[in-house]
Amino acid sequence: MDKLLVRGGKPLQGTVRISGSKNAALPVMAATLLTPGVHRLRNVPRLRDTHTFARVLELLGARVSFDANLLTVDTREVSSVEAPYELVKTMRASIYVLGPLLARFGRAKVSLPGGCAWGPRPVNLHLTGLRAMGAVLEIEHGYIVGRDARLKGATIGFDVVSVGATAQLMMAAVLAEGTTVLENVALEPDVTVLGEVLAGCGARIEGLGSRRLTIQGVTSLRPIDTAIIPDRIEAATFAAVAAMTGGTIRLENVVPDHFEAALRKLEEAGCALQRAADSVTVAGPARPRPLNVVTQPFPGFPTDMQAQMIAVCAVAEGTSVIEDTIYLDRFTHVPELARMGARIELRGNVAVVKGVDRLAGAQVMATDLRASACLVMAALAAQGETLVDRIYHLDRGYESLEQKLAALGADIQRIH
């Protein structure tokens, strides 16, 4: 298994170009199933997850090809409706094919995604919503099996704001008979942009950007031809690297509003920011100030930046308090940071972080995508060498991370 060897301790400087967004690309890839045709998606990041999703589409009968970051998906020959456990277990987002398959074919067989590194991640909101639209869904041998059903419009209110369930039901509703109303929907840019892409193909969606969507079903859509938005979590991660190492990093190809909550917290930590239309320059302080952070659905502070922010607070001058309200047990990175000398006390879903002058290099193990980014950041600021194991997690969501960091002056290498 690949590892990353990092020699830390110097401020990173320079410019980094942010890649396309993983969490925006995956639902758009699923949406190609709604219409038989040739779909073109530009600026798709080359990641383990986008390749896994391409594999799922191929198994359903689509022809998929990557040319650099241009993804072409030909769904005219799609004939299977089965997404197997082997793939779904490696990437929960595979469940996004369920709604489009039911909408186009009236049937589907999709493996239930199991748990993840930090506990149960149910999909009850996806299933309840699809059933409200008339889907007949049974759980058989670990699979969600949908039999012949013509989806119909319905009014669905989400108890919890869910990115996945909003995207799922939106995709199911655009081809359903009649009108669907979705209430308390997610506002994450990945979801809003999916709505804009579908509207660009002829879908009738009102209320994008608000917590209430009204979707008038249509009988067919045009193929997708779009460019994937920049990755706001990758951008916020690099901004946090500047805070962590005391360097100055210019982020190119970004939409600052998409990660404003993280930028504001970094300003509180002492970073100096220069925002422009599609770039942000972040100058880190000599030493970060402590923070209070509570994760929330967008436009609040993203849970996908919680681990990275704990790394920043681990070297802050004082005590920080970080609460994750989305995933109550998303703290598998904490014991690994402690191996590097961090002082973090966990109280349920709250981490109390007493900042230390300096972290020390050590052997650590990544447990999930954002935890691995957090450990790489800690290694960049630490004294001495750090060996980060199981970086396949990192490859799921960061395109060419070590090359980008090396270009900013990091002493980092991948060990196969």
Q: How far apart are CA 132 and CA 75, in angstroms?
A: 27
Of 8, 288, 361, 397, the one binding ligand EPZ (CB under 6 A) is: 397
The window from 54-62, 81-89, 115-123, 207-215 that contacts ligand EPZ (CB under 6 A) reads: 115-123
370 counts as binding ligand EPZ under rule CB under 6 A: yes
Question: Nearest approach, Cβ of 398 to ligand EPZ (angstroms)?
Answer: 10
171 counts as binding ligand EPZ under rule CB under 6 A: no
Q: Tell me the closest approach of the beta carbon of residue 322 to ligand EPZ, in angstroms.
A: 15
The residue (of 164 and 270) whose beta carbon lies closer to ligand EPZ is 164
Q: Least distance (Å) from ligand EPZ to the CB of residue 276? A: 26
Find out whether 380 and 388 touch, Cβ atoms under 8 Å: no
Contacts of 53 by beta carbon, 8 Å cutoff, 6+ apart: 25, 26, 29, 30, 91, 93, 94
CA angle at 306 for the pair 124 and 296, rounded to the nearest 5°:
55
CB 389 within 8 A of CB 366: yes
Distance CA 55, CA 64 (A): 8
Nearer to ligand EPZ, 39 or 126 (CB): 126
- What residues contact residue 94 under an 8 Å CB cut-off, 6+ apart? 52, 53, 56, 83, 87, 88, 110, 111, 113
327 binds ligand EPZ (CB under 6 A): yes
Taking the complex as a whole, the smallest distance from the CB of residue 115 to ligand EPZ amounts, in Å, to 10
3-state secondary structure of 235: helix
Q: Which two tokens stand for residue 201?
A: 């193909």
Question: Shortest Cβ distance from residue 119 to ligand EPZ (Å)?
Answer: 8
In the sheet with 385-389, reading across from the earlier edge strand, the strands are 363-365, 385-389, 3-7, 411-415
Which one of residues 12, 62, 78, 123 is an interface residue with ligand EPZ (CB under 6 A)? Answer: 123
Q: Which is nearer to ligand EPZ, 20 or 397 (CB)?
A: 397
Provide the binding-site residues for ligand EPZ, judged by CB under 6 A.
23, 26, 93, 121-126, 160, 162-165, 186, 190, 302-304, 326-327, 369-370, 397
Task: Give catalytic residue positions.
Answer: 116
